[in-house]
Amino acid sequence: MKLAYRLDGPEDAPLLVLSNSLGTTTRLWEPQVDAFSARFRVLRHDHPGHGDSPVPEGPFSVEEIASAVLDLVDGERFAFCGLSLGGMVGMCLAATAPERVETLALCCTGAKLLTSEDWLDRAATVRAEGTAAFVDRMRDRWFTPAFRESAEAQSYLDELLTIDPEGYARCCEALAAFDFRDRLGEIEAPTLVIVGEDDPVTPPEVVETLSEGIPRAEIVVVPHAAHLANVEQPEAVTAAVLQEVRS
């Protein structure tokens, strides 16, 4: 599997890997990239069928996305921050390559999100109707009412329309099969769990599963934020992640 990526920041700086949510591209991290790249060499990647990453032949798993990310970092140790699907990639990396992951930030994610049937239904819908079928639903899930009609929110919803429907569907199928609840204890890295206070995708029981299952986990709740908390409250998320990677 080949993933498109971009690098920002000084060539000799420590590495920070950023991984996106389903339905977004490397642009998701634009609110953070200036602050992050002032201290780190920042690697952002697109998920399969998203942005500039091609759709692989055949199905794939979240674990295979994580393996493709490892291929990008060429043996280095790194800090990692992922949101939603990106956070699941981070869990896989931290558990399977603990010697590589120095710190882990899991944003608005869970060891299991929704049900397998939910994801398979979404895959079928996007194949039939395209990603336009989810714009209104994502408006409500990604952003709070105070933010969801803003031009910035709309720009991310417009980007959703550019995602390859088959790539989106294949990622949905990977999410349907993903359940990391029994493996959270394998994560050794210091872990920050960031959750939007108003995120409908990560209810308290999902967050508690992460905080109780990961041995060295701490929680930061971001007020006035839904699922794309780093977009809606960029300063709070930036500060939390920088504090984690400094520690």
List Cβ neighbours of 30 (8 Å cut-off, separation of 6 or more): none
What average pLDDT does this structure show over 93-118? 97
Q: What is the CATH number of the domain that holds 64?
A: 3.40.50.1820
Q: For residue 245, what pLDDT is reported?
A: 78
Please count the CA atoms within 13 angstroms of the CA of 134 that sit on its side-chain side.
28
Q: For residue 75, what pLDDT is reported?
A: 84
Domain that holds residue 188: 5-246
What average pLDDT does this structure show over 42-63? 96
**What total of structural domains would you count in the chain?**
1
Give the whole-angstrom CA distance, residue 198 versus residue 213. Answer: 22
57 vs 152 pLDDT, higher one: 152
The pTM (predicted TM-score) of the whole model is: 0.96
What average pLDDT does this structure show over 218-245? 96
| Pairing mode of beta strands 78-83, 217-222 | unpaired
Q: Look at residue 247 and tell me whether its pLDDT is greater than 60.
A: no
Of residues 5, 70, 19, 15, the one with CA closest to residue 37: 15
In this structure, the number of other CB atoms found within 10 A of the CB of residue 15 comes to 19
CA-only gyration radius of the chain, Å: 16
| Percent of the chain residues past pLDDT 90, beyond the cut | 96
Q: Look at residue 113 and tell me whether its pLDDT is greater than 80.
A: yes
What average pLDDT does this structure show over 128-150? 97
Q: Look at residue 246 and tell me whether its pLDDT is greater than 80.
A: no
Backbone angles phi, psi at 104, to 5 degrees: -135, 125
Show the 3-state SS of 137-199.
HHHHHHCCCCCCCCHHHHHHHHHHCCCCHHHHHHHHHHHHHCCCHHHHHHCCCCEEEEEECCC
Q: Please report which confidence band the pLDDT of residue 198 belongs to, taking 50, 70 and 90 as the band edges.
A: very high
**Residues 150, 155, 161: CA angle, nearest 5 degrees:** 130
Give the whole-angstrom CA distance, residue 99 versus residue 195. Answer: 26
